Structure 1
Amino acid sequence: MRIRLLGGLEVTSPERRPVHFATRKTSLLFAALVLAGRRGHRREQLSEAFWPGRSNGQARNSLRQALVDIRRSFPTSRDATLYIDGNQEAVALIAGPDETDISIFDRKFEEGRAADLAFAADLYRGGVLAGETIPEELDEWFGPYLDRYQRKALQLVDRLSLALPTPGSTEEVACEGLAERLLASDPAAEAAHRALIRIYAHRGQENVALRQFELCRNVLKKQLDAEPEAQTSSLAISLRSRERTGHQRPEPSSGVAVPALAVPMRHDDQPSIAVLPFQNLSGDIEQEYFADGMVEDIVTALAHFRHLFVVARNSSFTYKGRSIDIKQVGRELGVRYVVEGSVRRAGDRLRIAGQLIDTSTGAYLWADRFDGTLAEMFDLQDQIASSIVGAITPKVEEAEIERAKRKPTESLDAYDYYLRGLAAFDRTITSRSATDDALRLFMKAIDRDPEFAIAHARAARCYATRKSNGWMVDRAEEIAEATRLARRAVELGRDDAIALSYGGYVLGYVGGDLDDSAACIDRALALNPNLAAALGVSSWVRACLGEPGKAVEHAALAMRLSPLDPRLFAWQFNTGLAYFCARHYDEAVAWAGKSLRHQPNYVSAMRVMAAGHALAGRLSEAQQMVARICAFDPLLRLSNLAEVLPPFYRPDDRSRYIEGLRKAGLPD
């Protein structure tokens, strides 16, 4: 390991000598590349973030000088395991799996055995870049990484304290050290207090454990005006009961027994989820109603996702007020995933935390928090519920894709082929080969289940991508097949919001029927108003129908509901298209540029960007973009442009789009 970020930045050269970069900015740039890993960053993003206020040329030159400084310590060679790689557009730090502490930490954290968790605990000397001075303009850049690893450390200390073998073991020592380091930086880190309580109880030191609980309670009261979480309080109750009865101490992970429940029935191998009652950590009965009402809203919203099995509120609320084990909940309710959370008051502020957990491993797949004022408590309920639903549904989909990838191909059923198709299409840079692979997998899913509505819709969407990029070979035949698949999707999926969304989109873009397209997408939104994908395609159809204000509104809502969605680039493009139709060319160019930063070879965004630059009078930039378009689609001409154009309802939108590309230099 040659790079440490946890607890501060330490770097050693291939010769094992300490590395000191020329400037603090270079050190932070190096850290940013380490955190990004092999996916790297676009040069434009780095230069704008690290050297704001400078001209584009000056910022790019500063970036080049910083990269030269880094390359001096880590030159590229045939046997190098750590080096800078990149081109004119992007740059990445290529490092072996054991070169950085964060890559080892992440791997051990995911592997999850007690020995692995202890190894990760020893690696965590402190937060990412702790002790480093980060300029204010880079707070937004590094903030998500700092938060992510702090959350992981808290999850780690909690999990490790539940998996301790004999007292005095290496795992116990590592857990205690991590808990103490976490409390040194944040005395209100309740997970660390809880870990120490378990450790002392594990050693038979009940009095010390109870003193730790009292310390935890006092700190929380003083700093947050809050009480300990239910699982922390239950540890104290268990310890006091043990003192009174003189019974032998139970295993440290034991809790209050939960009666076995009848496992709800579900079909095939669909993903399943339960939403547990949120904990009210503030002792305010109004917040109790708020927390319960929010859980009901989340359950109701999740139930709109037709391919997600959701346990009813009455079953999940059986666990209210109890200390439970997530794996046990998974077994008793028969679910793969659990949502849990808490509501905490600090002064006149409310903080709502939520987590998504895989019940088979206990791993946290997602965690976030939401803040608001006490005065708007009930107004926040719908907003928070929709935000949580929007965040967790893509995470469930990602987890299901990974589950399908681990299955041997001879045992795949229709749903597994569908998930693999999603992995090929949604989670890779768009390319002809990826689109072809996805189409093949979706068609395999249809072969296994001819009434699989969303497989039809996703297959149809692959043809839409082929049309947009100029990849159709037999245009008439492929348009007919795309339309057939789309119509079959909406026929089979009358009550399936995803099938209606993508089937409707293809009917509009490939089939040219905007009325049918809008009707299908509107029905999808009526079925599931929290579905980001439906709002995303709705923004496209509204732009085409000449309703740019509604298009921008729906795209913004989609991005708020699912800010890390694989289709984010498409919603950004739709926003740019809407602004183009509204004659706001600067905004159109800006949003198309954002789309291209997420999907560099998205030709639709390139076309809007070129037309927007041209109509705004920036012919040089427009011509550069047309050159880029022609590199990706050499056969595109003004004469065949209609083959890839959106089906604009307003003739003026269509004529301005064509005129913009003509001015930009698209060949006749």
Structure 2
Amino acid sequence: MGTNGFKRKLAAILSADVAGYSRLMGEDEAATVRTLEAYRRVISDLIQQHRGRVVDSPGDNILAEFVSVVDAVQCAVSAQKEIQARNTELPENRRMQFRIGINLGDVIEEGDRIYGDGVNIAARLESLADPGGICVSKTAFEHIESKLPLGYEYLGEQTVKNIAKPICAYKVQMERRVTVKDHAEAKSKGGTWHRPLIVALAGVLLITVVAAALWQFDFLPVRTRVDDTTVQRMAFPLPDKPSIAVMPFVNMTGEQSQDFFCDGLSESLIAALSRVPELFVIGRDSTFIYKGRAAPMRQVSEDLGVRYVLEGSVQRAGDRVRVTAQLIDALKGHHLWSERYDRNVKDIFELQDEISMKILTELRVKITEGEAARILPKGTNNLQAYLKVLEGEWYRNQNNKEANNVAKRLYHEAVELDPAYAMAYVGLARAQGFDVWLGASKSPKETLADAMKSARKAIELDDSSAEANAAASAVLVAMREHEKAIEVGERAVTLNPNSANALYTLGMVLNYAGRSEEALPLLRQAVRFNPVVPKYYHHFSTACRETGRYEEGIAALKTSLGRVPDDVLANVVLATLYVYAGREDEARAAVAEVRRIDPGFSLERFARGSPWKEGPKRDRFIDALRRAGLK
């Protein structure tokens, strides 16, 4: 504590100025003032939404205090994107741009006011920023580098007015990650939720006429600029009902250990929405290929063939969780809805339901009370059991023996916490069955029996669960109980015709039972719902092979191999298709790829492990592989 009520504290300061402010005032003082006030309201609202507090707003500046550096940068990015989006609706000579500088440093505090080099450096950083851009100091950069999915360009040491030593500056790239240039990457300092920081904002006003623009400032929260797309550029025909892709929620906590929580929220929303017959929902595997990538919404829409995209972020600290979500109409290039939620973690179930129902409302999908109960099943009221299952799913999706063992342990722990939690048993059944596929089981017969026991328990607890029935069907076919597997698989598809996994499982089972004509339309649907999953293409192309559609099957596998070139099973199926089509030279080339990827591949072991029903169809494709050169 200093004299006269002064005290010092570490603070992050954000400063921005208004380019051309004097000129604009000279051209139309009244209009400029009105616009400035409108933008102040927008920025003030954003500051409040990002846990900030406006300290002062003299002239064309705003001074505010935040809880963390992450919040400050998020606020700055949101402000820039909001202004950018609104500018697209205005003539060029009426557009507004900001330059923003952010610093974390020492300041002097007197009452509600702040002084010192911390503030001065932020003001100097602002002058280094481009119009519409953000510039941060090294101290601020070290707190956000690993926490925000942004790019950063190192600008070097900058000598600035009234600051004794040069300051290290970084330009923030708001749309994509950029490798830091000519500077060793800073190491994360850990969580920053509780570090106070100060933000000074000022607008760059380039607007001379404002009356037509003021109405735009009334809707909040921030919405990201979205580029237009067209149906003609889509990889798949647009469905005849509302279609949506739920993107993996961005982990803003900065801790990889919280990935499972963020992924789980996305997966829960996908599962809930897929239960609505009036919606078309892309499967989890296809949206998660964008995880960690700043893909434009236009690209997502075109790649997956959907009109709507949901994106968001999650920040968790202790018992508190902050979730942001926004629903985008990528076809028209605008946002339908966006919201920020600050809740206790124990309220995560209600939050998931709230977001799901809001999406249905925005897409004008009406459901009854009974349908809502089916779409939004609680599953468990035990938060810890729910979190164990989320974490188990994250580990199981790593697709290796070690992670699968961790997943099994987590599912068992969830069962102990809530013995009536069906999804814990579903996860356990899948992981146990996966052990056999990974070759991690010493006794596949016993492991499959355990998996069947888990799947049956899941159905006993919740016989309306498509996931439980699909898991049971997959285990039954591995046990070569084809007719039972078909019966249970058909029930899974009946319970949820929008489930890519249920459709795929039944199609796979029908293939193995020698009923590929029935399998083909189901697998075609599964690929449309989840167009990037290799195993879907394996079985779709197998169904094409068995029904004489050789060229279609070959084309599908080439698409899959374009994404995953080292896929052994894709090359195995491709070799059989080439043989059936009379293209044996190409079949031998596919076999050469099999040997390159897996030098120890054994046709005998492959045939023994395949759950195909005994008969001429099985014998024919095994013989085709021999003719292509596999032994």
TM-score category, normalised to shorter length: 0.3 to 0.5
- Tell me which structure has the larger Cα radius of gyration: 2
Q: Which has the higher strand share?
A: 2
Higher relative contact order (CA 8 A, sep 6+): 2
TM-score calculated relative to the size of structure 1 = 0.43
TM-score calculated relative to the size of structure 2 = 0.46
